[in-house]
Amino acid sequence: MEAAGSDSTIDLDRAGNKPRALIDPFARAITYLRVSVTDRCDFRCVYCMSEHMSFLPKADLLSLEELDRLCSAFIAKGVVKLRLTGGEPLVRRGIMTLVSSLSRHLASGALKELTVTTNGSQLEKYASELKGHGVERINVSLDTLDPEKFRAITRWGDLGKVLAGIDAAQAAGLKVKINAVALKGVNEDEIAGLMQWAHGRGMDLTVIEVMPLGDIEESRLDQYLPLSLVRARLAERFTLEDIDYRTGGPARYVRVKETGGRLGFITPLTHNFCESCNRVRITCTGTLYMCLGQDDAADLRSPLRASESDAALHAAIDEAIARKPKGHDFVIDRRRQAPAVGRHMSVTGG
């Protein structure tokens, strides 16, 4: 099994100072890093992947040790929140070695939060280990509570396993948030039920609009359900009270009076959420994407591998952040057949 780094790799500059913090051209401080640790997955969700995806050769992937070093460089530069995602992060071999080694930054106080976004299929196995390494909260993606619909959406998934995973996570003391993609004609009649179920178990629910990322077999126009409609329908049955709760992310939250729970809406297409963006993403090959909805990227694998010192890596990160764009240009419309961005969500990480 690969071993992830255990020493702190935070380099000081020549004057002995910590590396420069990450501030982009629009004065946004970059404090949140999402890391796709693998592009592979044990599901094939219809909005995320085509059924016959080709994946990266394993040799192209950063080792766990390199992922640790890359994450540590960002933490040295002021990142305080780190999310492991994918593909399915919990199918990456040895993933707990990485979680365990990254937890030293929680212990030192440099990192405030280490979290995971997962489809839940492996949670039964890993929930208590995650908690043991200092993970407090996780996001589990779940679009339906109907086993057949679940199978149709994920193509390969088993709802029972995911529900057992959520049970295990809650039993281990992890705080769970459910993420559901709103899909026209598929789960639109179920969102109220999903919300009542989640709130009944003390979990927040966030509903997400389909984003045009990567070629899939179906048309995104057929899947796209504007959340303005979801919200209007929920408002007919529930009292939705706007609240200030923010997680530093793009979700806007309401409190549902009848359930007492929180409901979030992520609406990249109907509202622009970019002005407060604090995040960047790296892929499992060490490519840094400054925006989920743009193609510009920076290769961090070369500077990472070029030298044992982190100086070149820090310089490459600074240069990339200086190019972070103001926002995305997502569009789903009939004239534009191709996806706005060619890479799949599983590459950049959700």
- Enumerate binding residues for ligand SF4 (CB under 6 A): 41, 43-45, 48-49, 86-88, 119, 141, 154, 346
Give the x-and-dash track for 86-125 against ligand SAM (CB under 6 A).
x-x----------------------------xxx------
144 binds ligand SAM (CB under 6 A): no
- Cα end-to-end distance, the chain, whole Å: 27
> Do the Cβ atoms of 205 and 260 come closer than 8 Å?
no
> β-strands 297-299, 287-289: how paired?
antiparallel
264 binds, among ligand SF4, ligand SAM, none (CB under 5 to 8 A by kind): none
Q: Which helix (H) or strand (E) holds 262?
A: strand 262-266
Cβ closest to ligand SAM, residue 24 vs residue 143:
143
Cβ closest to ligand SF4, residue 111 vs residue 205:
205
211 binds, among ligand SF4, ligand SAM, none (CB under 5 to 8 A by kind): ligand SAM
154 binds ligand SAM (CB under 6 A): no
208 binds ligand SAM (CB under 6 A): yes
Question: Residue 33's Cα: distance from chain center in Å?
Answer: 9
Cβ closest to ligand SF4, residue 22 vs residue 41:
41
- Count of CB atoms situated within 10 Å of the CB of 161: 16
346 binds ligand SAM (CB under 6 A): yes
195 binds, among ligand SF4, ligand SAM, none (CB under 5 to 8 A by kind): none
44 binds, among ligand SF4, ligand SAM, none (CB under 5 to 8 A by kind): ligand SF4
Burial class from Cβ neighbours inside 10 Å (0-12, 13-18, 19+) for residue 144 reads buried
Cβ closest to ligand SAM, residue 208 vs residue 298:
208
Sign, Cα dihedral of 248, 251, 255, 261: negative
Cβ closest to ligand SF4, residue 105 vs residue 344:
344
Cβ closest to ligand SAM, residue 123 vs residue 313:
123
Q: Which residues lie closer than 8 Å to 14 by C-beta, 6 or more apart?
A: none
Q: Which of 87, 173, 85 is nearest to 134 (CA)?
A: 173
Helix, strand counts (H, E) of the chain: 11, 12
Give the residue at shortest CB distance from ligand SAM: 350
85 binds ligand SAM (CB under 6 A): yes
> Do the Cβ atoms of 85 and 37 come closer than 8 Å?
yes
Q: Which of 88, 45, 92, 91 is nearest to 64 (CA)?
A: 92
41 binds ligand SAM (CB under 6 A): yes
Dihedral over alpha carbons 17, 21, 27, 31 (to 10 degrees): -150
> How far apart are CB 285 and ligand SF4 at their closest, in Å?
16
Cβ closest to ligand SAM, residue 44 vs residue 104:
44
**Contacting residues toward ligand SAM, per CB under 6 A:** 41, 47-48, 85-86, 88, 117-119, 141, 179, 181, 208, 210-211, 213, 345-346, 350
